[in-house]
Amino acid sequence: MAKILVVTSGKGGVGKTTTSAAIGTGLALRGHKTVIVDFDVGLRNLDLIMGCERRVVYDFVNVCNGEATLNQALIKDKRLENLYILAASQTRDKDALSKEGVEKVIKELSEQFEYVVCDSPAGIEKGAHLAMYFADEAIVVTNPEVSSVRDSDRMLGLLASKSKRAEEGLEPIKERLLLTRYDPERVTKGEMLGVEDVEEILAINLLGVIPESQAVLKASNQGVPVILDDQSDAGQAYSDAVDRLLGKEVPHRFLDVQKKGFLQRLFGGRE
């Protein structure tokens, strides 16, 4: 049986799709057969970030409605043997998804894959609800700012009460915090919430801290998951997060301000 992971946040623009792409790719890199499913029907992005937008023929909604088979809709990643993408429909909206349809697709995916990564849309409405409903584990993506923390808190409440596991009284969804766009320098200046602040408010296990990095924007524009850029701090941080997801103990990095060396101070510039 596959493990169903949902990447969710409540708030938009915090890095859910970037994280889904990175974590899914990371799992595949470590030899696990993984599929990333885009639940953001109508605002399809995952295919762009994965760089497979030109190969989308059938999508998630087609499979839900029985208009295409799963194998017709699954897009195989060109870089990794174990990685597949199920794109969202761009021409429909969230109401095109039904609980029965999603359940059928998730069940079918579970038979073929080790990990099913569900990329949730923003919000707490139907699309986000269906993305998390069948999940076993949740990665709650949060930016170090109060509004994002509050929305994540709301989403954690929904994970604990409105999921299939909650409704059937099973073991609750395992919740993990992924703090993205973290800038230690601004934290020390008091302009940004620190890791400890966010952890204290949300009171869940910390999966990782992804530093604010120019590599993320570059990677998503190029259609390459940032985790494949192993020279970048964000790529390394995602890599650590995937290891932690698989149960490895890895110390957290990129939490402190990097002291600039003599030459760096002399010539300035970032990174």
Partner 1 sequence: MLAITTLELAHNDLDRLDRQLQAKVAQAPAFFENTPLVLALDKLPEAEGTVDLNALMQLCQHHGLRTLAIRASRAEDVSAANALNLPVLPPSGARERLVDPAPVKVVEAEPRPSRIITQPVRGGMQIYAQGCDLIVLAAVSAGAELLADGNIHVYGPLRGRALAGVKGNTQARIFCQQLAAEMLSIAGQYKTAEDLRREPLWGQAVQASLSADVLNIRSL
Cβ atoms within 10 Å, residue 130:
24
Among 116, 158, 210, 242, binds partner 1 (CB under 8 A): 158
Is the Cβ of residue 137 or residue 199 nearer to partner 1 in the bound state? 199
Please tell me whether residue 174 binds partner 1 under the rule CB under 8 A: no
Distances (CA, A) of 184 to 114, 118, 192, 220: 35, 29, 8, 23
Instruction: Write down the least CB distance from residue 150 to partner 1, Å.
Output: 6
Instruction: Write down the least CB distance from residue 154 to partner 1, Å.
Output: 4
Please tell me whether residue 140 binds partner 1 under the rule CB under 8 A: no
Please tell me whether residue 206 binds partner 1 under the rule CB under 8 A: no
Please tell me whether residue 201 binds partner 1 under the rule CB under 8 A: yes
Among 30, 33, 104, 154, binds partner 1 (CB under 8 A): 154
Among 153, 183, 199, 243, binds partner 1 (CB under 8 A): 153
Instruction: Write down the least CB distance from residue 205 to partner 1, Å.
Output: 13
Among 88, 156, 216, 245, binds partner 1 (CB under 8 A): 156
Is the Cβ of residue 204 or residue 227 nearer to partner 1 in the bound state? 204
How many Cα atoms are found within 13 Å in the side-chain-facing hemisphere of 42?
A: 11
What are the E-state strand segments in the chain? 3-8, 34-38, 75-76, 83-86, 115-119, 137-142, 174-182, 205-211
Alpha-carbon distance 111 to 2, whole Å?
Answer: 7
Among 160, 195, 206, 215, binds partner 1 (CB under 8 A): 160
Query: Could you tell me how many residues of this chain bind partner 1 (CB under 8 A)?
Result: 11
Cβ atoms within 10 Å, residue 188:
12
Among 67, 99, 107, 203, binds partner 1 (CB under 8 A): 203
Alpha-carbon distance 158 to 177, whole Å?
Answer: 15
Is the Cβ of residue 31 or residue 157 nearer to partner 1 in the bound state? 157
Task: Give the phi and the psi of residue 117 in degrees, each rounded to 5.
Answer: -100, 115
Instruction: Write down the least CB distance from residue 157 to partner 1, Å.
Output: 3
Is the Cβ of residue 133 or residue 238 nearer to partner 1 in the bound state? 133
Alpha-carbon distance 21 to 7, whole Å?
Answer: 10
Instruction: Write down the least CB distance from residue 225 to partner 1, Å.
Output: 31
Binding site for partner 1 (CB under 8 A): 150, 153-154, 156-158, 160-161, 200-201, 203
